[in-house]
Amino acid sequence: MKTIAERLKYARESHKGWTQGKLAVVAGVSQSTIGNIEAGIREGRGSLPKIAKALAISHDWLADGEGEMLAVIAGYAPTPPVVPLAIAETAKTYVLEWRAWPFETVSRELWDSLTERQKGEAEFFIKQLAGAVSSSNTQPEKVQKMAY
């Protein structure tokens, strides 16, 4: 793959199976940014670190086609149910860290039954709620009791 556009589309569709909208929500960029990069309209160099982090791929591979798309951690195999927690930059390669399923009242099966659009909307809502809670004096226990 010779272009950023080709590499991004490959990583999004083949590696993650995500829509442009889902990647945009997870990366914290606009869907038009993803679309413009994939269409070759712009390179989006300023957004590439966030996009690579969201996709759990090497920034160098995405930006320049250098190295491998994925970092391989020898002998590390997380046991389900796990979800990505964070991406740590180590020697210019992003490495995935793992953590247990974060929801007590939402099963993994229920989450997996949602459409990609529903998952994107839920992730957006959770991100907005977390931002509101962290920027106010609202206690998380009180937020749970709010009517939506």
The whole-number mean pLDDT for each consecutive block of 10 residues of the chain, a chain of 148 residues, reads 93 89 89 94 90 87 87 38 42 45 76 86 85 64 47
In the prediction, which pLDDT does 114 show? 86
Sequence letter at residue 51: I
In the prediction, which pLDDT does 38 show? 95
In the prediction, which pLDDT does 117 show? 87
Q: What is the pTM of this model?
A: 0.50
The answer to whether the CB of 62 falls within 8 A of the CB of 8 is yes
In the prediction, which pLDDT does 137 show? 55
Could you tell me which of 101, 53, 105 has the C-alpha nearest to residue 80? 101
The answer to whether the CB of 47 falls within 8 A of the CB of 27 is yes
What are residue 31's phi and psi, to 5 degrees?
A: -65, -35
* Torsion sign over Cα 15, 19, 24, 25: negative
In the prediction, which pLDDT does 116 show? 86
